[in-house]
């Protein structure tokens, strides 16, 4: 019986041994799965921005919606001084004008009357001057009294005063001798409002200005502050302003005024910011975003916000561990004000992180 079992089992065991030998001979040698550390190429390394981790005060960035407006302290309204019909208007809103530049012409009967009054006054001066001279001659001949000379002298001086007044009135109204009043720009600046057209009849009792001119060297930004942020905003605070038109350009200014009452319609407090306007880039009625940094009374580890990489619901930074060696490090974020990121854990002061092209290097490390 045992002999029979051995006879049948021996060939099976021999076959299994042969198969094991064959597979053992053909199995590839074990490979080393350890990856070499990623080395930043020298060409890329030269262009990278490296930020050193440090400890700093936490600063929150509060954003407000605003609107660019012209500075009414730097605005001149041009009102009609005479009545008449408008001609020769060649400017339009947005044009830059120089002080003294003619903006339009008004054909005016009033100006014609002013010129006529001056001519009459000048003629009267000549007449009274001759009468005074005659009275003096008659006085020398004994045919006129001192009273006659005094009366003639008074009449002459009154005529001179009337001529001076007529000259000043005509000068105020442009010194025109043909019944035209020239509307001139009183300052250098841009025409921001215009309520006049050619052929239009104007009157001096019109309360509306013909032109509104602003130099636009600095402008206002009117922003709305919600009740929850009123305690965080103070007069004199520094702010940064960005616009849709220039998304990469930051305009710096200060909070010039906080209104004392909420707007009943929006339930917000009006905040006014004064900004310098180099190159006249900011135009009235542009939409703007106002960012105000509010300092908290606590510190935290901080790095440049540009060093953060967000992936799979987690923030990461790329840490420079050697001359050209880098590693990915997960971090826990406290806050990010757009410029600086405040870190709760994952970094230590003094470490170096990549603050430019971090996403590119992060992708290379994960590939």
Q: What is the pLDDT of residues 66-97, one digit of tens each?
A: 999 988 888 899 988 888 999 989 899 889 99
So what's the architecture of 45-58+298-366 in CATH?
Answer: Beta Barrel (2.40)
DSSP assignment string, 162-197: HHHHHHHHHHHTT--SSSEEEEE-SSSEEEEEE---
98 confidence band (pLDDT: 50, 70, 90): very high
What fold, for 64-71+218-296? Answer: Elongation Factor Tu (Ef-tu); domain 3 (2.40.30)
CATH code assigned to 78-108+179-215: 2.40.50.100
- The burial of 14, by beta-carbon neighbours within 10 Å (0-12 exposed, 13-18 middle, 19 or more buried), is given as exposed
Give the mean pLDDT of the chain.
84
- Tell me if 225 sits within 8 A of 109, measured CB to CB: no
| Domain 109-175 classification at class level | mainly alpha
- Tell me if 167 sits within 8 A of 108, measured CB to CB: no
Phi-psi region of 216 (alpha: psi -120 to 50; beta: other; left: phi over 0): left
Average pLDDT over residues 233-248: 89
- Percent of the chain whose pLDDT exceeds 90: 36
- The model carries a pTM of 0.56
Which ranges in the chain are annotated with CATH 2.40.50.100? 78-108+179-215
- The pLDDT assigned to 9 comes to 46
37 confidence band (pLDDT: 50, 70, 90): low
34 confidence band (pLDDT: 50, 70, 90): low
The residue to which tokens 């001279």 are assigned: 133
* pLDDT reading at 325 higher than 90: no
- The pLDDT assigned to 289 comes to 92
Which ranges in the chain are annotated with CATH 1.10.287.470? 109-175
- Tell me if 93 sits within 8 A of 194, measured CB to CB: yes
Which ranges in the chain are annotated with CATH 2.40.30.170? 64-71+218-296
* 174-203 pLDDT tens trace: 778 888 888 999 988 889 889 999 999 988
């Amino acid at each position: 019986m045992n002999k029979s079992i051995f006879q049948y089992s021996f060939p099976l065991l021999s076959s299994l041994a042969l198969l094991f030998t064959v597979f053992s001979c053909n199995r590839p040698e074990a490979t080393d799965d350890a990856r070499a550390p990623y080395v930043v190429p020298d060409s890329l390394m030269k262009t990278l921005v490296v930020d050193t981790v440090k400890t700093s005060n936490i600063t929150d960035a509060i954003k407000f919606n605003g609107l660019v407006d012209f500075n009414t302290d730097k605005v001149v309204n041009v009102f009609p001084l005479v009545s008449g019909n408008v001609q020769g208007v060649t400017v339009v809103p947005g044009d830059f004008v120089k002080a003294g530049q003619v903006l339009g012409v008004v054909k005016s009967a009033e100006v014609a009357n002013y010129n006529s009054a001056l001519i009459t006054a000048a003629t009267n001066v000549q007449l009274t001057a001759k009468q005074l001279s005659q009275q003096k001659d008659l006085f020398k001949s004994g045919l006129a009294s001192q009273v006659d000379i005094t009366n003639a002298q008074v009449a002459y001086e009154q005529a001179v005063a009337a001529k001076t007044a007529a000259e000043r009135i005509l000068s105020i109204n442009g010194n025109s001798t043909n019944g035209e009043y020239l509307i001139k720009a009183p300052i250098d600046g841009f025409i921001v409002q215009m309520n006049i057209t050619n052929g239009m009849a104007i009157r001096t009792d019109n309360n509306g200005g013909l032109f509104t001119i602003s130099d636009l060297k600095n402008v206002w930004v009117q922003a709305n502050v919600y009740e929850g942020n009123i305690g965080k905003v103070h007069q004199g605070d520094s702010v940064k302003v960005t616009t849709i038109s220039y998304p990469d350009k930051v305009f710096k200014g200060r909070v010039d005024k906080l209104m004392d009452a909420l707007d009943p319609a929006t339930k917000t407090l009006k905040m006014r910011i004064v900004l310098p306007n180099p190159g006249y880039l900011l135009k009235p009625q542009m939409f703007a975003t106002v960012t105000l940094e509010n300092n908290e009374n606590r510190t935290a580890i901080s790095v440049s916000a540009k060093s953060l990489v967000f992936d799979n619901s987690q923030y990461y930074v790329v840490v420079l561990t050697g001359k050209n060696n880098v590693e990915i490090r997960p971090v826990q974020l406290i806050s990010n004000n757009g410029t600086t990121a405040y870190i709760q854990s994952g970094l230590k002061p003094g470490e170096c992180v990549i603050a430019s092209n971090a996403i590119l290097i992060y992708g290379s490390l994960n590939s």
